[in-house]
């Protein structure tokens, strides 16, 4: 068991933390013993299912990029053969250029995931902002409308470097309500997802692999079947 205020590990059934003196809860908000969620970062992150998920994600990303690349090459080749505006090999060269761009994006995405690191941090700010932007109707070059939306943001600061990261969502306050200022969180490298230290009072949990919203009572994500970190 861990203290929800200072994070110190407790070995007995104390009513108060031996480090900071904060009162302790021995049960999790009315849940039965079998449904209690451990306070602390889950060791389930070492489950092979996460490595398999990352491997499959990289493979499908490359396959999808390769399909788009082939479509671009074939499409521009056909355009060069049938259009009066551009001939081959000029059209084909453009197709190869676009195909290369798709493949580079896939490679960059894979390398970014591999380079990302695991670090601990804390939620330092939450903000709600009313925003607007121009959005095209798709019917004409100058035909657009003003789209109004609400942006919900959560700011997390790394413990060691002090660098901040902002999580944002439009017209969806689920993530905003999930985190509270002062929450300790861990960013998992490769997955680029966040795990909350204290999940004992939560009814929901985000899958750290695919970010799907799940019920805290579930053991695995209903979408990708990876273990939930609880």
- Whole-angstrom Cα Rg for the chain: 24
Q: What is the pLDDT of residue 142?
A: 75
Q: Which whole number is the average pLDDT over 195-223?
A: 95
Q: What is the pLDDT of residue 139?
A: 73
Collapsing DSSP to helix, strand or coil, 66 comes out as helix
Which of 89-98 are b and which e, b meaning 16 or more Cβ less than 10 Å from the residue's Cβ? eebbebbeeb
**Residue 31 binned pLDDT confidence (cut-offs 50, 70, 90):** very low
Q: Which whole number is the average pLDDT over 159-168?
A: 97
**Residue 3 binned pLDDT confidence (cut-offs 50, 70, 90):** low
> What is the chain's mean pLDDT, rounded?
88
Q: Which whole number is the average pLDDT over 225-229?
A: 96
Q: What is the pLDDT of residue 26?
A: 45
Q: Which whole number is the average pLDDT over 75-80?
A: 94
- Give the single-character DSSP code of 107: H
Q: What is the pLDDT of residues 45-68, one digit of tens each?
A: 999 999 999 999 999 999 999 999
């Amino acid at each position: 068991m861990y203290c929800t205020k200072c994070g110190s590990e407790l070995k007995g059934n104390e009513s108060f933390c031996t480090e900071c003196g904060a009162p302790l809860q021995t049960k999790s908000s009315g849940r039965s013993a079998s449904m209690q969620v451990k306070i602390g970062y889950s060791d389930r992150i070492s489950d092979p299912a996460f490595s398999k998920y990352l491997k499959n994600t990289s493979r499908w990303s490359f396959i999808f990029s390769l399909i788009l690349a082939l479509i671009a090459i074939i499409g521009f080749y056909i355009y060069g053969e049938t259009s009066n505006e551009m001939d081959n090999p000029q059209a084909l060269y453009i197709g190869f250029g676009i195909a290369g761009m798709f493949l580079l994006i896939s490679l960059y995405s894979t390398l970014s995931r591999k380079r990302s690191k695991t670090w601990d941090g804390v939620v330092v700010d939450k903000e709600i902002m009313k925003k607007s932007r121009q959005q095209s109707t798709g019917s004409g070059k100058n035909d657009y409308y003003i789209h109004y939306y609400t942006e919900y943001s959560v700011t997390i600061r790394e413990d060691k470097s002090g660098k901040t990261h902002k999580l944002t969502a439009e017209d969806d306050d689920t993530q905003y309500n999930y985190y509270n200022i002062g929450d300790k969180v861990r960013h998992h490298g490769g997955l680029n997802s966040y795990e909350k230290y204290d999940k004992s009072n939560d009814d929901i949990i985000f899958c750290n692999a695919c970010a799907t919203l799940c019920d805290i009572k579930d053991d695995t994500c209903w979408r990708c079947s990876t273990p939930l970190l609880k």
